[in-house]
């Protein structure tokens, strides 16, 4: 019986389909990346492919699983996507010959010998509580977390995904005070309820992005997915979307400092609760917090504001202005007339460069927003703006 169990365990770690592909040569299996613009395609040579294609992680995640989303989606000519995902915590070690150069390329030269440090003590943050309320509709900070003991969403089985959901419900239900709230499973919502939550920017969208659909993260949708939020809808946790958990602090107005305080306190509480359930978060001293997409490694921190720009979005140099300020527009209103207020999510580019000081990065992130508002006033007042 013991031998039988050992054979079963060995079979669990063996990817038979990957073994079958070994009958074909490297030349026959190497993907055509000639039209691609992503970090994976930039790094993956035929030599690296040949070296890694026969390997798999203990859970059976393979090189082709890592790169498939980038193979299927060449990317945009002017926007370089990452083009790969991790299927478990071990992916970053087993496939480091590919992933380390991708991480270095994506994160400004971060070396395999570098050690990640972060400080999420909100009391160290200076300023950020007075972004102009005439333009800022809402502010948010988010991150992702992966729960130890499970594979990542591209590789989850149904039972595993449901186990993550069950554990998350048990853990989050113990939050109290300003964080007290309730869990809402996706498969318990009507389409209208889902659409309303998406429109209100509380809920993740349906799985239409290539990252989700081609990497396997959209399998069995919406089974095992849901959203937890506090009673005030200012602290949210998405369960089983791109990562096991997406932790979000948000509120109306421009008090980013308060948003960041709630984010730090709530995140710390969640981590302590999961540790009590014998499931801490994936972390190592080199990469920081382990997440599905290499772009989110480290702190995974992203800050954004939802702003109304009545005139700036139609300015002929709008795109150039954003580029100069290292800002990125998201969720733009489809209309292009001067009378329509354009709504944008502005995120700082290269926001996740293995933040060694969460507060410093957030302070830097706030500067472009502060620079943006005098520019808007000039345009609203009908004055010319000199781009320097």
Distance CA 28, CA 379 (A): 57
In a domain? residue 387: no
- Do both 163 and 298 map to the same domain? yes
Which parts are annotated binding residues for ATP? 138-142, 201, 246, 302-306
Query: Are both 184 and 290 inside the same structural domain?
Result: yes
Query: 131 and 83, same structural domain?
Result: no
* Same domain assignment for residues 100 and 141: no
Sort 183 into a burial class: Cβ within 10 Å, 0-12 / 13-18 / 19+: middle
Q: What is the DSSP letter of 315?
A: S
With respect to residue 319, please indicate whether it lies within any of the assigned structural domains: yes
pLDDT recorded at residue 103: 95
Q: Is residue 115 part of a domain?
A: no
Which neighbouring-strand residues pair with 321? Answer: none
**Which residues, listed in sequence order, are joined to residue 142 by a DSSP beta bridge?**
248, 302
CA–CA distance, 192 with 194 (Å, rounded to integer)? 5
The CATH number assigned to the domain holding 159 equals 3.30.590.10
**Residue 358 pLDDT class (50, 70, 90 cuts):** very low
CA–CA dist 210, 75 (Å, integer)? 10
Give the pLDDT confidence score for residue 193 in this predicted structure.
Answer: 81
Q: Is residue 282 part of a domain?
A: yes
Residue 186 DSSP class: G
Q: Are residues 338 and 372 in the same domain?
A: yes
Dihedral angle of Cα 106, 107, 112, 118, to the nearest 10 degrees: -140
Together in a domain, 285 and 339: yes
Domain boundary residue, one of 106, 134, 167: 106
Question: In this structure, what CATH number is given to the domain that contains residue 20?
Answer: 1.10.135.10
Structural domain containing residue 16: 2-106
Omega before 222 within 30 of 0, i.e. cis: yes
Backbone angles phi, psi at 378, to 5 degrees: -60, -45
- Burial class of 61 by CB neighbour count within 10 A (0 to 12, 13 to 18, 19+): buried
> Does residue 235 contact residue 248 with C-beta atoms inside 8 Å?
yes
Instruction: Give the sign of the dihedral formed by CA 326, CA 330, CA 336, CA 339.
Output: negative
One domain for residues 126 and 166: yes
Angle 145-220-11 from CA coordinates, rounded to 5°: 80
Please indicate, yes or no, whether residues 225 and 252 belong to a single structural domain of this protein.
yes
pLDDT for 359 beyond 60: no
Give the end of a domain, one of 78, 106, 134.
106
pLDDT tens track for 109-119:
999 999 988 77
Whether 112 is covered by a domain: the verdict is: no
- Indicate if 129 and 181 belong to the same structural domain: yes
pLDDT, position 322? 72
Q: Name, in order, each residue with C-beta under 8 angstroms of 60's C-beta and a sequence gap of 6 or more.
A: 12, 13, 14, 15, 18, 155
Residues in the chain: 388
Residue 317 lies in a domain: yes
Which pLDDT tens digit goes with each residue over 156-174?
A: 999 999 999 999 999 999 9
DSSP structure string for 103-159? HHHHTTS--TT--------GGG--S-S---TTTEEEEEEEEEE-BTTS--TTT--HH
Direct distance between the N- and C-terminal alpha carbons of the chain, in angstroms, rounded to an integer: 75
Annotated binding site: 138-142, 201, 246, 302-306
pLDDT bin (cut points 50, 70, 90) of residue 182 is: very high
3-state secondary structure 316-339: CCHHHHHHHCCEEEECCCCCCCCC
Whether residue 125 is predicted with pLDDT greater than 90 in this model: the reply is no
CA distance 302 to 248: 10
Query: Which of 106, 141, 171 is where one domain is finished?
Result: 106
Closest CA to 50 of 98, 100, 103: 98
Indicate if 217 and 184 belong to the same structural domain. yes
Alpha-helix residue ranges (DSSP H) falling in the chain: 2-12, 16-21, 26-29, 39-43, 46-52, 63-72, 91-94, 96-106, 158-172, 191-199, 210-215, 256-276, 318-324, 358-380
361 domain-assigned: yes
Kindly tell me if the per-residue pLDDT of 320 is higher than 90: no
Is the same domain home to 157 and 288?
yes
Q: Is residue 75 part of a domain?
A: yes
- Give this prediction's pTM: 0.82
Q: Which residue has the higher pLDDT, 299 or 251?
A: 251
Residue 137 contacts residue 343 (beta carbons within 8 Å): yes
Q: What is the pLDDT of residue 248?
A: 95
Number of compact structural domains in the chain: 2
Query: In this structure, are 63 and 126 located in the same domain?
Result: no
């Amino acid at each position: 019986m013991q031998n039988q169990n050992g054979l079963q365990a060995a079979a669990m770690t063996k990817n038979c389909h990957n073994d079958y592909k070994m009958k074909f040569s490297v030349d026959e299996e190497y993907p055509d990346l000639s039209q691609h613009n992503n970090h994976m395609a930039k790094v993956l040579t035929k030599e690296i492919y040949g070296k890694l294609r026969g390997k798999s992680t203990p859970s059976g995640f393979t090189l082709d699983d890592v790169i498939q989303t980038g193979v299927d989606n060449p990317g945009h000519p002017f926007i370089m996507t990452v083009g790969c995902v991790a299927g478990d915590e071990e992916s970053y070690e087993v496939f480091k010959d590919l992933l380390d150069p991708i991480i270095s390329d994506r994160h400004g030269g971060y070396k395999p010998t570098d050690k990640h440090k972060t400080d999420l003590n909100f009391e160290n943050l200076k300023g950020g509580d007075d972004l102009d309320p005439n333009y800022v509709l809402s502010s948010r900070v988010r991150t992702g977390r992966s729960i130890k003991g499970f594979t990542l969403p591209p590789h989850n089985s149904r039972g595993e995904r449901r186990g993550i959901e069950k554990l998350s419900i048990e853990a989050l239900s113990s939050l109290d005070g300003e964080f007290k709230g309730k869990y809402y499973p996706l498969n318990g919502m009507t389409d209208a309820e889902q659409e309303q939550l998406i429109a209100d920017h509380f809920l993740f969208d349906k799985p239409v992005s290539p990252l989700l659909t081609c990497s396997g993260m959209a399998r069995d949708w919406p089974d095992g997915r849901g959203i937890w939020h506090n009673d005030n809808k200012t602290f949210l946790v998405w369960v089983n979307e791109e990562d096991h958990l997406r932790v979000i602090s948000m509120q109306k107005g421009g008090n980013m400092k308060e948003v960041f305080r709630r984010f730090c306190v709530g995140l710390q509480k969640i981590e302590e609760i999961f540790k009590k359930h014998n499931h801490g978060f994936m972390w190592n001293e080199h990469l920081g917090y382990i997440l599905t997409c290499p772009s989110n490694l480290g702190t995974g921190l992203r800050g954004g504001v939802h702003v109304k720009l009545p005139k700036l979005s139609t300015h002929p140099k709008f795109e150039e202005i954003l580029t100069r300020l290292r800002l990125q527009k998201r969720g733009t209103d489809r209309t292009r007339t001067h009378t329509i207020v354009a709504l944008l999510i502005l995120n700082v580019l290269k926001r996740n460069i293995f933040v060694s000081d969460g507060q410093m990065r957030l302070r830097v992130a706030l500067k472009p927003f502060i620079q943006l508002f005098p520019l808007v006033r000039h345009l609203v007042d009908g004055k010319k703006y000199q781009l320097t």
